[in-house]
Amino acid sequence: MSEKEKMLDGHLYQPYSSELYKDREFCQGMLYEYNRLSPLHRDERDLILKKLLKCKGELCIEQPFHCSYGYNIEIGLNFYSDINLTILDKAKVSIGDNVILGPNVQIYTAAHPYNEVQRIKGLEYAKPVTIYDNVWIGGNVTILLGVKINQGAIIGAGSVVTHDIPPYVIAAGNPCEVIRSITQEDVHKKW
């Protein structure tokens, strides 16, 4: 089994293998071009993102944007991310339709083993992150490996999401915890 196959299957793997290094190098080259383009060159920016990510349709990721590989990221329709989105996509990151991310959101799928000998060898492992449809994630939120944020949830700014979040709730904090359900009053609120 190659190191890439180990990574994608959730096993301990060596991220410094030549195949994974080349994959990251390709991704970093694409992101270098993306992040250097003028915001006015929207079509060129979109072309780069469509080569790098699996996108269902139009999306907007404000510059700068950073990720590890790109090919492990799937994004649904009507996606928006503010500046400084970072996705360490060592495992699959699935983002549904109508998702909004505030500035400085970080999604981490990778971690290092507790065993110090394995860490010294540079080994790591990865678990997928899933963000379902109609989720809003505030600024400066960190989402850790293996987490699912369910349909319609809202994550408050500055949160660290360490475990699954149920649908249609407002959650915040470090660690992120459910504060309350989203009510009909919230849905019909006039701003």
Residue-range domains of the chain with CATH: 3-187 (2.160.10.10)
Q: What is the SS3 assignment for the chain?
A: CCHHHHHHHCCCECCCCHHHHHHHHHHHHHHHHHHHCCCCCHHHHHHHHHHHCEECCCEEECCCEEECCCCCEEECCCEEECCCEEEECCCCEEECCCCEECCCCEEECEECCCCHHHHHCCCEEECCEEECCCCEECCCCEECCCCEECCCCEECCCCEECCCECCCEEEECCCCEEEEECCHHHHCCCC
Residue 191, pLDDT above cutoff 70: no
Residues with catalytic function:
112
User: pLDDT per residue over 38-84, tens digit each?
Assistant: 999 999 999 999 999 999 988 899 999 999 999 999 999 999 999 99
pLDDT of residue 189: 77
